[in-house]
Amino acid sequence: MSANVLGYGVVDELRGYWRGDGPLWRLYWIYGVLVSTTGGAFLSAVAVNKLVNVYVFTTFLAAALVYTGFILISTWRCAFNISGSPLGMEREMWGWLARILTFGWAINAGGAVVMLLQYMLDY
């Protein structure tokens, strides 16, 4: 396999999403839901079991926030990159639904950060 397939392909794909290029479904369901849920489960397990000290956990949390910010902004920018009319809904409706859910996702991420930090600090 070439280096482009192993590494640079993903980087180029993520750059495209940042610019608002690329299909919404892959960004939302793969990078957003699947990767973010896995990361959230990891952070929750680390916090609940206090597997690391608060400084290491805060570093993990900061990285997760950067990733989440990237996904939220990219999802907003790619919201209308939908082909066809999935489930009979027009492309425009899906785009606005993606943006509304992105706004809710941001609120949820902020609340999760506060709760996990409180738990780690025994507050």
At 71 the pLDDT is 96
**Domain ranges for the chain:** 36-120
Tens digits of residue pLDDT in 62-106: 999 999 999 999 999 999 999 888 888 898 999 999 999 999 999
CA dihedral 76, 77, 79, 84 (to 10 degrees): -170
Question: For 20, left (φ over 0), alpha (ψ -120 to 50), or beta?
Answer: left
Q: What is the pTM of this model?
A: 0.85
Helical H segments across 33-90, by residue range: 35-49, 54-78
C-alpha closest to that of 83 among 12, 31, 22, 9:
22
Single-letter amino acid code for the residue at 67:
Y
pLDDT at 4 over 70: no
